[in-house]
Amino acid sequence: MQLTGNLLIGRHSFHGINGSIDAVDAATGERITPPFGGASLVDLDRACALAWQAFDLYRDTALAARANFLETIAQNILDIGDELIERCMTESGLPRARLEGERSRTVGQLRLFAGVVRVGDFLGARLDPAQPDRKPLPRVDLRLRQIGVGPVAVFGASNFPLAFSVAGGDTASALAAGCPVIVKAHSAHPGTSELVGRAVQKAVNDCAMPEGTFSLLFDSGREIGQALVTDRRIKAVGFTGSRSGGTALMNLAAARAEPIPVYAEMSSINPVLLFPNALKSRAADLGRAFVGSLVLGAGQFCTNPGLVIAVEGPELDAFVAAASTALRQTPAQTMLTPAIGTAYASAVAKTAGHPKVTMAARGLEARAVNEGQSALFVTDADSFRDHPELQEEIFGAAALIVRCRGIDAMRELIESLEGQLTAALHIDEADYADAKALLPALERRTGRILVNGFGTGVEVGHAMVHGGPFPSTADGRSTSVGSLAISRFLRPVCYQDVPAPLLPDALKNDNPLGLNRRIDGDLRMAK
């Protein structure tokens, strides 16, 4: 497919004239063609108008048709072939195997939501039948279903150019919920975005979905992204990125005449808790495994383990020694963008210069531009508590080990942490009692608690939570990975005494959609 650098607005494709975005080879820093034309406010208005027109039609599509649409997007992405992987490697600096895996995940997410749409449980159908003879007052007939909130703005993530970008998790869950989507492409991978955007646009056409179901915009600055979030026709926002970017969108959304929900996945240092018996039995193994997780994808995962908490002593020393040895052998890796590489180097230098922090080890030095050199630091619990800046996420392969005087100090430290996506506990059976005592504090501030593993590698399923209290996300009531994500783009509507011909199929007496429904509160299986 020949890249055009065009905006995709409804069924149209044309070159934006509001500035230009150049794709950059992450490994060399060189510009690559073609240039991508930035959207104007007129283009944005057109995309929003189309999405708004599409909303009533698209949310009314049959479940099977909507599921088929999601599967068609998945197939169209696969049909792009190796061109997608190669372009994405160039733009992101990520290796082939990682991106092939990410493509599988992207396709898998779309298919997962197709399955969710077919089953229809997300409609949350509830019927409280009328009781005309109830005393003292007759009871009306009440029926409830969930509908899409409206057109959704999705901001592509730099670190998942496929799985959290144009046709990634937010787009898949919003489309599944019945919401048209307008994507603001991440400028780190515009070519990848165009390729995937065309696959979605083609699926809209292949499946005869309403024109405004999908649009893709490029933005040479911040004007279009901000205007998108404040447009009255946009009813929710999905975002994955920095804390500053996410909170800026939250503030914009809260200041609207009609405030709307923002689902921003932002900032998490993902504490790793090493318990005494686990450390005693396998400190060196843990140190090596930890470094394996730390440097994965150049440390550019939301779930990257940036903080280790453990009780001081010879076992922790052994962990630090093993981790340091492993780290010193890890090659520097190409980072997603030159800007991310620069920010990483600067954050590492700042931590290295912190008076309360000791450098334990650094990875191999960079041999090319825009490579990130991994780093491991050590501090103590008092210093960590007294210096909140040490809790700030460093986006990249850098972590801080905090030595505590005992389990109580570990608990206190946990209580000082901000909201997190994940917390990992390394425990042996002899640690269970200590671990159990810390679980409530972890539940209060994390979305996912995992044992004897690391948070990197997010399984896409039904029981996954990729979310957590602020600032890990804007809204801890939700997840951005897994089938539960569909609920973030839904809201309930109740129908009272509505005659059968006017009821949506989901709520008709004879249950034509074959849904599991709640009758007077009791769950009734369709079959």
Closer by beta carbon to a second copy, 267 or else 334 = 267
CA distance 175 to 116: 12
CB of 352 to a second copy, least distance (A): 28
| Residue type at 118 in one-letter notation | R
Task: Please identify which of the residues 88, 179, 302, 404 carries the catalytic annotation.
Answer: 302
For residue 161, the tally of other CB atoms under 10 A from its CB is: 31
CB of 504 to a second copy, least distance (A): 9
CA distance 194 to 214: 13
Nearest to 278 by CA among 428, 407, 410: 428
The H or E element that residue 259 is part of is none
Helix H, strand E, coil C: the string for 428-439 is: CHHHHHHHHHHH
Q: Between β-strands 371-372 and 358-362, what pairing exists: parallel, antiparallel or unpaired?
A: unpaired
CB of 491 to a second copy, least distance (A): 5
Closer by beta carbon to a second copy, 115 or else 245 = 115
Closer by beta carbon to a second copy, 338 or else 476 = 476
Task: Please identify which of the residues 91, 265, 393, 418 carries the catalytic annotation.
Answer: 265
Is the backbone peptide bond immediately before 261 cis, with ω within 30 degrees of 0? no
Q: Is 494 a catalytic residue?
A: no
φ, ψ (nearest 5 deg) of residue 305: -80, 100
| Residue type at 216 in one-letter notation | L
Nearest to 215 by CA among 3, 14, 480: 14
Closer by beta carbon to a second copy, 186 or else 411 = 411
CB of 5 to a second copy, least distance (A): 35
Cα 202 to its chain centre, rounded Å, is 25
Closer by beta carbon to a second copy, 92 or else 472 = 472
Tally the C-alpha atoms within 13 A of residue 57's C-alpha that lie toward its C-beta. Answer: 12
Closer by beta carbon to a second copy, 1 or else 463 = 463
CB of 395 to a second copy, least distance (A): 21
Q: Is 302 a catalytic residue?
A: yes
CB of 262 to a second copy, least distance (A): 10
Considering Cα of 272, then 349, then 157, then 230, what sign does the dihedral take?
positive
Catalytic residues: 265, 302
